[in-house]
Copies of this chain bind each other. A is one copy, B any other.
Amino acid sequence: MSFDKVAIIGLGLLGGSIGLAVQEYLPQVQVTGFDADPKVRSRAAERKLAQTIAASAEEAVADADLVIFCVPVGAMADAAREIAAALKPGALVSDVGSSKQTVTRDLSAALPGAQVIPAHPVAGTEHSGPDAGFATLFQQRWCIVTPPADADPQLVTALCDFWQALGAKVEVMEAEHHDHVLAVTSHIPHLIAYTIVGTASDLEQVKRSEVMKYSAGGFRDFTRIAASDPTMWRDVFLGNRDAVMEMLDLFLTDLAHMREAIRAGDGETLFDLFTRTRAIRRGIIEMGQDDARPDFGRSDH
């Protein structure tokens, strides 16, 4: 089975990219989009992020076989309630949120009886809004599908096929495991980046202009991550609180250990860690998940 009509609720970076990717890679599929913000709808129509930009969420989901919520995870429940009456019986409801346990709970509660299979394409940039999307965002990126225990296997397969058609590599796992994996690979890195950029903004010893000027030594990479969408990220931390706290505490323990090594002048402990971490970098490059060029090819030399 496959989908004839897809509705996208929320036309920011992810929703817009899905709309463009469907038109590019699944031209036989009809795609409708809606965003609660009229300015976003108007820009989405100009950029043709979907074939039809509907004036209401209900209108967007009418006759859709697949509805994908692309809103911050804290807004899923309200967005789902809005379409409850208009949802076609048997339609599949999915999303792109970065935390999966709370989203599964919220979508299922808001749409009783609906087929809910959450998903999370691990792809993005630091830009957001209707101008940020592009059709190739999902190419060679992973999409994690987290079916509830009672999900219809045919629908799971159909959703996996859909994401593969958009260029993604698909992995199926439990929502709880997803939340642990993403806490470490994405949520904690964002929390740390936001925090150090905040710390650096408020120093007495060093001026903010100096922090910006000399940022090429490592800091600027953190500022890129810390430029991500604030609403989305607030919701991620609140939505994945338990796994984030668990991973954060492991990190804090390790950081305290490094602090002690620096204080004690223990070069061996530092050197051991700094050597160990190179293996993971190599693995990521071998897996095609990053660019081996220095600075990701920032400088052309």
Measured CB to CB, the residues of A under 8 A from B are 74, 98, 122-127, 132, 134-137, 139, 141-142, 144, 171, 177, 180-182, 184-201, 203, 205-206, 208-228, 230-231, 233-235, 237-238, 241, 244-248, 250-252, 254-255, 258-259, 262-263, 265, 267, 270-271, 273-281, 283-284, 287, 289-291, 294-299, 301
Contact = CB atoms under 8 A, between A and B. Distances in A.
Nearest to A144: B214
B195 A255 contact: yes
Given A221-B221, A245-B263, A280 B200 contact: yes
A193 to B, nearest CB: 7
25 contacts: A122-B214, A122-B217, A137-B299, A142-B216, A181-B206, A181-B210, A182-B217, A184-B206, A185-B214, A189-B219, A189-B221, A192-B255, A196-B251, A197-B277, A198-B273, A198-B276, A201-B277, A208-B283, A216-B290, A220-B284, A223-B280, A230-B271, A234-B271, A234-B274, A248-B259
A214 B142 contact: yes
A205 B221 contact: no
A49 to B, nearest CB: 15
A270 to B, nearest CB: 4
A125 B294 contact: yes
A181 B248 contact: no
A253 to B, nearest CB: 8
B234 A218 contact: no
A252 B251 CA distance: 11
A296 B224 contact: yes
Contacts of A299: 125, 136-137, 139
Contact of A259 (B132, B227, B245): B245
Given A184-B211, A189-B219, 4 more contacts: A125-B294, A137-B301, A198-B276, A201-B276
